[in-house]
Amino acid sequence: MNALQEIANMMNETEKKAFIQYLSKKNKRKDTGNIAFFSSLKTDDIKYKKYTLKSKQSTDAYHALRKRLYDSLINFMASRSFENDTSQENAVLRLIVVSRLFFEHKLTKTAFKCLAKAEEIALSIEHFSLLNQIYHTQIQFAHFNLSEPIEKIIEKFKANKKQLEYEEQLNLGYAVLRRELAAIYHEGRITDFQSLIKNTIETHGISLKQGLTFKSLYQILFIANEYASLKNDFSLIQPFVIKSYRFISKKTDLADKHLYYHIYILYFIANFYFRNGHFTKSLSYLDLMFTELQKQSGKYYQRFCLRYFLLLAFNENYLGQSEKAIEIAQKALSLIKKADPNDSNDLRLMLVVFYIQQNGGRNAAKEMAKFNHTDSWYEKKMGIDWSIKKCLVEILLHAQLENTELALSRIKSFKRRYKKYLLTVNEERVVQYILFTEQYVLKPEIIQTQKFHEAIEDFIVSAQNGPKDILIMSFLSWLLAKVRRKTIYETTLNLLPTYFPKAYSI
């Protein structure tokens, strides 16, 4: 899909009608063809291209028309976004722009009033880059305002500059780390991420003792969350979570002004508690998150709702409410059509796991069949770790359904594709896990032998001594259920107290 079609698909019907009206007013000739071209994007751009080439006998004419339409669409979207944006950030920008216009026309008193109002709003939302523009403009035209000492403005400018510089350094570090994370997830690059974090912090002079904002806290939590995910150990980031809770507790007055980051922070905290087995505590933060999702006319509901339902279903499932968890997942997948594919893939894979835990192989197979892309595709789109989890779930499903040949084929493919990577990142337990699974698939009666039984029990104990993560525990439960001849779900719930002793000692 090309950029023009992607933008058109992003627009709702009201916006499309408005754009056609915009083109109609802009067109000076009736044979321009841009409206017909835009309308063709709803069906098939190639058909219009063939028609255009046939009628005008010119490839250049087609591409020129396409380029003009693209430029018009960008200009329309930019102006419409600016017009419809009622955020405080946009209000400050408007006041800065109009104040400079007033200065040009010698309306200095009105201009300074606009800047004062802009400063008040920018301070309330802790927007240091906008404050920098405001103070810069105030200093530039300070000779018109003799009532306020220039030293006072310069003092505010310098104090804000320090905050801005810290924010910029954090942005640089955040960008470096996110880029490296993308390479780790999507290219399977082997990196000592802990050392990289340390070096990035030192290189960019980032100090976690500096005053936090909702944005900076989000950036820190994002990196911490991804680091914990890579290590499969969410206990590592507990200090960040505690600091986050203290921060948002003290700044409730600013929470609505930074709603996007506030929702993300609540999600990170809820995810931390879930991955560490504190399900009730996780649900309490999800309740807070849901409340925030309703604010500002549900502005961010579509953006975050699948993540909310994902964690909600996970928590309910491990609290023993499996039917409720499955219902939540099913409804979320059926109601949300224009969702982020990453979020819907996460939710669908979780639903497959729930079905497997309930011995619902047929339902699990139906959902798994909807993952109709190659391993390579999922590695690029979802990351190598996600693709590994998906392959493991698929192998367990085939084993559950006694599809021996398919299970063995996927095991062979898994070892060929991921064994070297797993050994390089010190995940020998996954390699050992797949070997045990292969032995069971080849010879199911092996579970009756004392030797295999002891080997699995020893492996489970050894795996529990490593990094703790509930998703890993779920895989272990499947294997343990086979040797103990118990249901997978019962085994999973029974394993929780020994796997998360701290969570269950409260």
Number of Cβ within 10 Å of residue 255's Cβ equals: 18
Q: What is the pLDDT of residue 504?
A: 63
Average pLDDT over residues 350-379: 93
Amino acid 58 reads S
Residue 217 host element (H or E): helix 214-231
Tokens of 339: 């969702």
Residue 66 covered by a domain: yes
Closest CA to 2 of 51, 80, 63, 57: 63
Look up tokens 């394993």; give the residue.
495
pLDDT of 185 over the 60 cut: no
Q: Select the more confidently predicted residue: 300 or 470.
A: 300
Residue 389 covered by a domain: no
How many angstroms separate the CA atoms of 398 and 407, rounded?
Answer: 5
How many angstroms separate the CA atoms of 177 and 180, rounded?
Answer: 5
Number of Cβ within 10 Å of residue 464's Cβ equals: 17
pLDDT in tens, 391-447: 999 999 999 999 999 999 999 999 999 998 888 878 888 999 999 999 999 999 998
Quick one: CA torsion of 306, 307, 309, 311, rounded to 10 degrees? 160
Q: Please, which residues have CB within 8 angstroms of residue 301's CB and are 6 or more apart in sequence?
A: 293, 294
**In which band, very low, low, confident or very high, does the pLDDT at 53 lie, cut at 50, 70 and 90?**
very low
Average pLDDT over residues 473-495: 91
CB neighbour burial string for 407-441, b if at least 16 within 10 angstroms, e if fewer: bbebbeebeebbeeebeebebebbeebbebbbebb
Q: Compute CA distances 181 → 191, 213, 238, 460, whole Å.
A: 9, 23, 20, 30
Look up tokens 């010879």; give the residue.
443
Q: Compute CA distances 307 → 314, 327, 343, whole Å.
A: 11, 15, 6
- When divided into structural domains, the chain yields a total of 1
Closest CA to 308 of 295, 321, 327, 291: 291
pTM tops 0.85, yes or no = no
Tokens of 318: 């491990």
| Inter-residue contact 354 to 325 (CB < 8 Å) | yes
pLDDT of 190 over the 60 cut: no
Residue 38 covered by a domain: yes
Q: Please, which residues have CB within 8 angstroms of residue 84's CB and are 6 or more apart in sequence?
A: none
Q: Please, which residues have CB within 8 angstroms of residue 286's CB and are 6 or more apart in sequence?
A: 266, 270, 308, 311, 312, 315
Number of Cβ within 10 Å of residue 498's Cβ equals: 12
Residue 24 covered by a domain: yes
Q: What is the pLDDT of residue 29?
A: 73
How many angstroms separate the CA atoms of 212 and 218, rounded?
Answer: 10
Q: What is the pLDDT of residue 506?
A: 46
Closest CA to 310 of 328, 322, 293, 284: 328
Residue 181 covered by a domain: no
Q: Is 267 helix (H, G, I), strand (E, B) or coil?
A: helix
| Inter-residue contact 306 to 344 (CB < 8 Å) | yes
| Inter-residue contact 467 to 233 (CB < 8 Å) | yes
Residue 13 covered by a domain: yes
Q: What is the pLDDT of residue 69?
A: 82
Quick one: CA torsion of 493, 495, 497, 500, rounded to 10 degrees? -110
Average pLDDT over residues 48-61: 56
**Maximum CA pair distance of the chain?**
93
Tokens of 421: 């990577």
Residue 158 covered by a domain: no
**In which band, very low, low, confident or very high, does the pLDDT at 305 lie, cut at 50, 70 and 90?**
very high
Listed range (2-11, 72-81, 108-117, 207-216) with the worst mean pLDDT: 207-216
Residue 52 covered by a domain: yes
Average pLDDT over residues 242-256: 74
> How far from the centroid of its chain's Cα atoms is residue 462's Cα?
32
Q: Select the more confidently predicted residue: 250 or 359.
A: 359
Domain assignment of residue 21, given as a range: 3-84
